Amino acid sequence: MKSWRAMVAAGLFLVCAGCAATKEQVRGNLGDKFIGKNVDALVTTFGPPASSFRMNSGETAYVWQLSAETHLSTYQGGGSAHTNYCKVSVISSPGGVVTKLTTEDASGTGGILGMAGVDIYGSICARRLGIARS
């Protein structure tokens, strides 16, 4: 009886948690939307970047920190903290046109699935940006 309940609970969790897009889908979605456009489009959408750096090539690197969630876990006097985050990094040409866009998205799937690279929670960036799994 216990194993049946556990399987149903796990299945419901996966269905609900799997609604957010994957990291790859977010990267593709943002790339389609912003690559080839002026970096001002990102500023209009996300606000000013957290940091920028002018490179020797004349290109500029930008980073937007879109979201950060810290989860604390305590048990019998001990504890741990894990921060899930979403960063968008962009390279723009000397004229300000986005030529490269990457995302860094740590959502923290743990256990055996996390070690296998499976992200059952979906992307933090997807949740922050409202991008559904396709």
Q: What is the pLDDT of residue 62?
A: 97
Q: Find tokens 């049946």 and name the residue.
A: 4
Residue 57 pLDDT > 50: yes
Residue 128 CA to residue 134 CA, distance in Å, equals 16
Q: Find tokens 């995302």 and name the residue.
A: 103
Q: What are phi and psi of 102, to 5 degrees?
A: -130, 160
Average confidence score pLDDT of the chain: 77
- Cβ burial 9-32 (10 Å sphere, 16+ → b, else e): eeeeeeeeeeebbbbebbbbbbbe
**How would you classify residue 40: left for phi > 0, otherwise alpha for psi between -120 and 50, otherwise beta?**
alpha
Q: Three-state SS for 93?
A: coil
Residue 12 — pLDDT band, cuts 50, 70, 90? very low
pTM, entire model: 0.67
Chain centroid to CA 127: how far?
8
Residue 116 pLDDT > 70: no
Q: What is the pLDDT of residue 6?
A: 47
CB of 57 closer than 8 Å to CB of 99: no
